[in-house]
Homo-oligomer: A and B are copies of this chain.
Amino acid sequence: MEAETTDAERDLWRTFYVMRRQLELTLERRLHADAGISGADYEILIALFSDSSRRLRAGQIGDIIGWEKSRVSHQISRMEQRGLVKREECGDDARGVWVGLTPEGSRVVLGAARDRRDAVRQYFFDVLSDEEKEVLGTISRKVLDTINPPICNEVSADEVSAAV
């Protein structure tokens, strides 16, 4: 007595899969065209910008956007090369470093955020009815709860909240 996957379900999964993929692709392309940065750059910049002091410890960045520390480090190095962020020594704890926005980084993140907001509105919010938005919220939470049961703790929703 095993549950069978229906044709309708297969179609739904396929459509949902293609939608996710195309949405991601499109958002990345717009960001690159309008702000000259990648999705990875954007996540870092937004995380820094969302902090009131415009700077974070390297480890915090990883926690916020759900990356491994080595990935954060490599990414920061590349962005530092391009003048978007800068590393600073950490007085409190000499093991750590602060990562902060440069003036150029601040300029770029503002344009990028505007671009992202417009894109999400255009492709997403403007297309959906209120009821659809509500149902999608319910669906997302249900799936997340199923994937992330209390037992195992992966990246939580809050940790990624800065990456709008």
Chain A residues numbered 93-126 whose CB sits less than 8 Å from any CB in chain B: 117, 120-126
Which of the residues B19, B120, B144 comes within 8 Å of A22, measured between beta carbons? B144
Chain B residues with CB under 8 Å of A124's CB are: 13, 143
Interface class of chain A by DSSP: helix
Tell me the bound Cα distance from A28 to B115 in angstroms. Answer: 30
Task: Determine whether the beta carbon of A132 is less than 8 Å from that of B123.
Answer: no
Number of copies of this chain in the oligomer?
2
Query: Is A33 part of the binding interface, using a Cβ–Cβ cutoff of 8 Å?
Result: no
Instruction: Spot the interface stretch: A69-77, A80-88, A146-154.
Output: A146-154
Rounded to whole Å, the gap between the CB of A19 and the closest CB of chain B is 4
- Determine if A92 is an interface residue (Cβ-Cβ < 8 Å): no
Task: Evaluate whether A136 and B16 lie within 8 angstroms (CB atoms) in the complex, with A5-B117, A127-B142 already known.
Answer: yes
Contacts of A40 in B (CB 8 A): none
Residue interface bits A13-28, CB-to-B below 8 A is 1, else 0: 1111111111111100
Chain B hits for A140, CB < 8 A: 12, 15-16, 18-19
- Which 9 A-B residue pairs are closest in the complex by CB-CB distance? A19-B140, A135-B135, A15-B140, A127-B142, A18-B157, A16-B140, A12-B137, A18-B160, A127-B146
